[in-house]
Structure 1
């Protein structure tokens, strides 16, 4: 007697359950694995390059900030001794000039708008 069963129009033979092992070409599988490893190494290399560039840019920023801090410390020490550093004088006079320019441009703009309003 035949042990095969008819289920849903298909003849099934008794045997092991589950997926049948696929007949994969071992050379192709090995080559895919090698390619995947190459791609992984390339991604890792790019990630490390990016991180190294990020670290070096941050280190440059830190050095610039330290220099700026040292400059401010020297200015403070000079002002404690009663001296006003030339850089601060230049900054103050530059700000005063820019304020006076802004004020004069505001007055001219205001004068123009008043004159145009009076024309109506």
Structure 2
């Protein structure tokens, strides 16, 4: 221990100590209590509970949003499957040499849509 004491008292270490005085100090900040009182602890626990309630509420909203997105996309997928099946049916009828009933109506609707877009 004597060697360590001598090291800390050397002029080199004293100069370093003077340089560090303006630096940020470590340790406890002034104004903070070493042992929190019961009221401090109650306040801290209440803040923690409130934060947990808010977190759960945000999580619930997020899950609701995601469930709505999934339902919307599932509906879109179902509609696309239905449309694909209609096209397959029409192709099958074409292969048999028949004119599909809904195809003429579909063609006229598409023609009307394009005309409306051009205007």
TM-score interval, smaller chain: 0.5 to 0.7
Which of residues 72, 92, 112 in structure 2 aligns to 1:77? 92
TM-score normalised by structure 1 residue count: 0.60
Determine whether 1:22 maps to 2:3: no
CA distance in 1, matches of 2:82, 2:28: 70
Determine whether 1:90 maps to 2:100: no
Segments of structure 1 that go 5 or more residues without pairing to the other structure are 1-15, 103-120
* Change beyond 3 A, Cα 1:80–1:20: same
- Give deviations 1:10-53, integer Å, cap 9, x for gaps: xxxxxx95414624511101100000000000000000000011
Tell me the residue number matched to 2:81.
66
RMSD: 2.5
TM-score normalised by structure 2 residue count: 0.60
Deviation at 1:89, TM superposition (A): 2.2
Segments of structure 2 that go 5 or more residues without pairing to the other structure are 1-25
More strand by share: 1
Deviation at 1:76, TM superposition (A): 0.3
Deviation at 1:94, TM superposition (A): 5.8
More helix by share: 2
Give the number of aligned pairs.
Answer: 83
The structure number with the bigger radius of gyration is 1
* Change beyond 3 A, Cα 1:37–1:17: closer
